Amino acid sequence: MLGIESLSYKESSVKLMEAAGREVLVLDGAMGTMIQRYGLSENDFRGERYAASDALLKGCNDALVLTRPDVIKDIHRKYLEAGAMIIETDSFNANAVSLGDYGLQHDVTALNHAAAKVAREAADEYMTQHPGAMRWVAGSVGPTSKSLTMGQGIDDPSAGVVDWDLLTETYIEQMKALIEGGVDALLIETIYDGLNAKAAIWAARRAMEIVGVRVPLMLSVTLTESGRTLSGQTLEAIIASMSFGEPMSIGLNCGFGADAMMKYVEALQPYPYAVSVYPNAGLPNEMGEYDETPSMMADKIRVMLQRRWVNIVGGCCGTTPQHIKALAELCKQYAPRVVPEVEPEMTLAGLEPLCVTPRLNFVNVGERCNVAGSRKFLRLIKEGNIDEAIDIARNQVDAGAQIIDINMDDAMLDARACMTSFLSRIGVEPDVARVPVMIDSSDWNVVIGGLKCVQGRPIVNSISLKEGEESFIKKARDIKEMGAAVVVMAFDEKGQADTFERRIEVCDRAYRLLTGKVGFKGCDIVFDPNVLAVATGIEEHADYALDFIRAVEWIKSNLPGAKVSGGVSNLSFSFRGNNSVREAMHALFLYHAIAKGMDMAIVNAAAIMPVDDISDELREAIDDVLLNRSHDATERLVAIAEKIKSGNVTVAAESPSEEPSLTPDKRVERMLVKGVVDGMERNLSDAMAMLGSAVKVIEGPLMAGMNSVGEMFGAGKMFLPQVVKSARTMKQAVAWLTPFIERERRGKVSSKAGKMVIATVKGDV
């Protein structure tokens, strides 16, 4: 391994990581609250160094490490005496973006060196005076006041552009100086934007490489009252975004006090990191003061300790050495949380997480935000009609797309600019940004540009061995270090793999390189063994689909954790213009490939057809093509396709709402399964007449329909988009029946309603 993996941790850092498993570690309290107590003047903040500064520096706490180091050291000492085991450097805002407010952006290195030095001295002196006691220094790294995610969505050039490159540059300078100054850990805290956090983590790892010293990362998130970050991510989503940092701890700070944190501390329990929590001293009062006393705060933290939920405890805004003293006494009485070991799983994220487990059955990636795959999307991008282009993304998510693929590769476009601006815009559209993105480009420059503006955990689509191992490894490393998962196309120096043997040969080689040389986890690799067009009339293409399906099976049983994906619409290029045949081909192809373990596919989420809707004749013909079962398979499929085009053969059976052979209840059931809304009211009314009540319509055909949707989903015959459609139909049917149900209920003389408890599981669709 190269880069950060080759560095070993500092000795004191190793002790810190061990200690977190042995005892509850106490972190210090607020710096700002303490500084206020010293009643410092403008001149104290300026000192000699900044005497000539144009800006007023009062309030620039980070300057004091150079201008009043005695004060900062005194504060560190007080926290150590109160029982803090880890003290934080006074460097929360010591980066160029934040220091720019005071005109001190040129002094990042000196300030961070001094911040580390003064904390280091205080900790070392304490250890000398208390032999046997270990005390640690954590370098504090704040988020800056500029949100990369929210800032970039706003088209206001005058706002001053803070982007990934600028932020990482100053973060590297800051963290390099902190590490050189001797910190034992880096504490990236008050995280409110996943993209800022990713930039900080990326920079931390570069800073470690530059200095040649590895220290553990401690990550601490601040949630709003909604339980999400300010930029909209759930806790699970932001953890997925940050996990590439391989943190020692993840936790919560600031926020709304210890009470409000309780349920989120619980949510941290399943993760394989130490858990830290350092709340404010309650909520600020009207004067902006925090009035939670040390014992009040300790009582709340006690509950977390009793449940063995935490490894590191401390204080944020408003806390004082008295608070830390109370916490330190408390922590002595409890054992720390046991950090669980977990089986790694691919977790992607937008604003919400997407854990790609076999439980999901199959993940569909929306294909329509692709300038090469949708004429409409290309036109909108060319016209600069971003709003309508975003509608295409939104429609896919509405139709059930769980990830959206985005591709701007067109010779007439500045693909990098289109990619970054589109990603930035959808990043602030909550109903689109909910899902992770797949950054699709064959231009590396576009991929990197895209990665720099996504706050969630995306997948890069794609890399391959086309240009040899060196470039493959370099790109893979960059992707891993930016926190993304990866799609690998089965392509090497010899070209595109198009037989079973070539497909598995290339995937196997890529897997060895990624897991062995780059440090990728198997579960974060997605192989794409090339979905190629079949029924082209060319003999060499006859095994394309079958070999793909065989390759899926081989990859799933030979490359641990690896996922398989493919661009399904490629399959049917020879039937362009005949969407019903294309959709039937896609559905059957997916049916076979998913049965062998295919995990995801790039599809038109709005147009996946249930396999059982395909007429027997068409299904037989398509299967013959896909599985290469007969020599005249293509000819027969072409012939049927012609008939379908001219309207002689239907793809699906009759529309269930009209089918005369069915009784009304059966019609309702079938309509629900197919998600058909047209004609529903008439059929509901007929079914009600037939069954005698609205409740019976729900309990009978509607429930039966939902059950078969569930069964078909489980059997891989139906996918999320169709389930969503059925669920919508159900909702509409119930809404239509509700007034009748109420009337029926009122009609009953004395109906004693019992109590009913219903429940669902987290993540239920």
- Which one, 451 or 602, has the nearer CB to ligand THG? 602
CA distance 659 to 661: 6
Residues 692 and 757: beta-carbon distance below 8 Å: no
Q: Which stretch binds ligand THG (CB under 6 A): 105-113, 253-261, 372-380, 385-393?
A: 372-380
Nearer to ligand THG, 442 or 471 (CB): 442
Question: Binding to ligand THG by residue 364, rule CB under 6 A?
Answer: no
Q: For residues 295-334, which are near ligand THG according to CB under 6 A?
A: none
> Burial level of 24, CB count in 10 A (0-12/13-18/19+)?
buried
Binding-site member from 233, 569, 580, 634 for ligand THG (CB under 6 A) = 569
The smaller minimum CB distance to ligand THG, of residues 440 and 481, is found at: 440
Does position 567 interact with ligand THG (CB under 6 A)? The reply is yes
Other C-beta atoms lying within 10 Å of the C-beta of residue 87? 29
Q: Kindly give, in sequence order, each residue whose CB lies less than 8 Å from that of residue 541, ignoring residues fewer than 6 positions away.
A: 532, 533, 534, 535
Site string for ligand THG, 400-439 (x = CB under 6 A): -------x--------------------------------
> What separation in angstroms does the CA of 147 have from each of 230, 245, 750?
9, 20, 59
- Applying CB under 6 A, the span of 303-311, 373-381, 450-458, 610-618 interacting with ligand THG comes to 373-381
C-alpha 313/C-alpha 326 separation (Å) is: 11
Q: Closest Cα to residue 113, out of 245, 211, 247?
A: 211
When the beta carbons of 374 and 726 are compared against ligand THG, the nearer one is: 374
Query: Judged by CB, which is closer to ligand THG: 455, or 565?
Result: 565
Q: Are 168 and 202 in contact (CB under 8 A)?
A: yes
CA 63 to chain centre: 36
Omega prior to 41 cis, within 30 of 0:
no
The answer to whether residues 30 and 319 touch, using CB atoms and an 8 Å cutoff, is: yes
Least spacing, CB of residue 489 vs ligand THG, in Å:
6
Query: Would you say 309 or 377 has its CB closer to ligand THG?
Result: 377
Burial of 411 (0-12, 13-18, 19+ CB in 10 A): exposed
Q: Is residue 373 a contact point for ligand THG (CB under 6 A)?
A: yes
Structure tokens at 712: 């078909």
Q: Are 596 and 529 in contact (CB under 8 A)?
A: no
Q: Computed from CA positions of residues 612, 615, 619, 620, in that sequence, does the dihedral angle turn out positive or negative?
A: positive
Which listed residue (54, 359, 375, 746) binds ligand THG by CB under 6 A? 375
Residues 6+ apart with CB under 8 A from 60: 45, 93, 99, 101, 102, 104
Q: Which is nearer to ligand THG, 237 or 571 (CB)?
A: 571
- Which of residues 352, 440, 583, 669 is near ligand THG by CB under 6 A? 440
| CB of 16 or CB of 609, closer to ligand THG | 609
| Smallest separation, CB 64 to ligand THG (Å) | 53
Q: Is 190 left (phi over 0), alpha (psi -120 to 50) or beta?
A: left
Residue 576 contacts ligand THG per CB under 6 A: yes
**Please, which residue, 95 or 364, has the CB nearer to ligand THG?**
364
- Distance in angstroms (rounded) separating the CA atoms of residues 122 and 22: 24
Cβ at position 606, least distance to ligand THG in Å: 11
Restricting to residues 520-539, name those near ligand THG by CB under 6 A: 528, 531
Percentages (nearest 5) of helix, strand, coil residues in the chain: 55, 10, 35
Piece in contact with ligand THG (CB under 6 A), picked from 370-378, 655-663, 694-702, 737-745: 370-378
Residue 361 has φ and ψ, to the nearest 5°, of 75, -60
CB of 461 to ligand THG, least distance (A): 5
Interacting span for ligand THG (CB under 6 A) from 119-127, 218-226, 369-377, 668-676: 369-377
Strand partners, 370: 407
Task: Supply the minimum distance, in Å, between the C-beta of residue 408 and ligand THG.
Answer: 12
Q: According to the binding rule CB under 6 A, does residue 450 interact with ligand THG?
A: no
Q: The tokens 């059950």 sit on which residue? A: 707
Stretch of 64-72, 86-94, 568-576, 680-688 lying at the interface with ligand THG (CB under 6 A): 568-576
Q: For ligand THG, which is the closer residue by CB, 376 or 494?
A: 376
CB hemisphere CA count around 749 (13 angstroms)? 0
Least distance between ligand THG and beta carbon 566 (Å): 6
Task: For strands 491-492 and 495-496, give the pairing.
Answer: antiparallel
Q: Is 374 in the site for ligand THG (CB under 6 A)?
A: yes
Question: Smallest gap, in angstroms, from Cβ of residue 371 to ligand THG?
Answer: 10
CB 215 within 8 A of CB 184: yes
Contact predicate 598/552, CB 8 Å: yes
Q: How is residue 223 written in tokens?
A: 């949630």
Binder to ligand THG among 29, 566, 610, 701 (CB under 6 A)? 566
Q: Which is nearer to ligand THG, 367 or 481 (CB)?
A: 367
Span interacting with ligand THG, options 60-68, 108-116, 563-571, 584-592, rule CB under 6 A: 563-571
Cβ partners under 8 Å of residue 52, min gap 6 = none
Stretch that binds ligand THG, among 329-337, 371-379, 545-553, 690-698 (CB under 6 A): 371-379
Of the pair 45, 377, the CB lying nearest ligand THG is at 377
Q: Give yes or no for a contact between 534 and 494, defined as CB atoms under 8 angstroms apart.
A: no
> Which residues touch 3 (CB under 8 Å, ≥6 apart)?
205, 209, 477, 481
If the CB atoms of residues 456 and 529 are measured against ligand THG, the closer one turns out to be 529
Q: Give whichever of 330 and 602 is closer to ligand THG, judged by the CB atom.
A: 602
When binding is defined by CB under 6 A, the residue of 140, 152, 455, 461 that contacts ligand THG is 461
Q: How far is CA 753 from the centre of its chain?
A: 43
CB closer to ligand THG out of 328 and 585: 585
Q: Which of 364, 370, 396, 464 binds ligand THG (CB under 6 A)?
A: 370
Minimum separation from the CB atom of position 438 to ligand THG (A) = 8
**Greatest CA span in the chain, whole angstroms?**
94
Give yes or no for a contact between 118 and 88, defined as CB atoms under 8 angstroms apart. Answer: no
Q: Which is nearer to ligand THG, 151 or 566 (CB)?
A: 566
DSSP string, 365-397: EEEEEETTT-HHHHHHHHHT-HHHHHHHHHHHH
Of 419, 447, 487, 712, the one binding ligand THG (CB under 6 A) is 487
What is the arrangement of strands in the sheet containing 437-440, beginning at the earlier edge strand? Answer: 563-564, 525-528, 485-489, 459-463, 437-440, 403-407, 363-370, 600-603
Structure tokens at 456: 């969630």
442 binds ligand THG (CB under 6 A): no
Cα dihedral 6, 559, 523, 563, rounded to 10, equals: 140
Q: Kindly state the tokens that stand for 659.
A: 């089918």
379 binds ligand THG (CB under 6 A): no
Count of residues near ligand THG by CB under 6 A: 20
Report the residue from 536, 570, 655, 693 that binds ligand THG according to the rule CB under 6 A.
Answer: 570
Q: Contact region for ligand THG (CB under 6 A) — 346-354, 374-382, 621-629, 704-712?
A: 374-382
What residues between 598 and 617 interact with ligand THG by CB under 6 A? 602
**Angstrom distance (rounded) from CA 127 to CA 130:** 5
Q: How far is the CB of 490 from ligand THG (least distance, A)?
A: 10
- Pick from 140, 144, 462, 580: which binds ligand THG (CB under 6 A)? 462
Nearer to ligand THG, 147 or 461 (CB): 461
* Chain residues that interact with ligand THG, rule: CB under 6 A: 367, 370, 373-376, 407, 440, 461-462, 487, 489, 528, 531, 566-567, 569-570, 576, 602
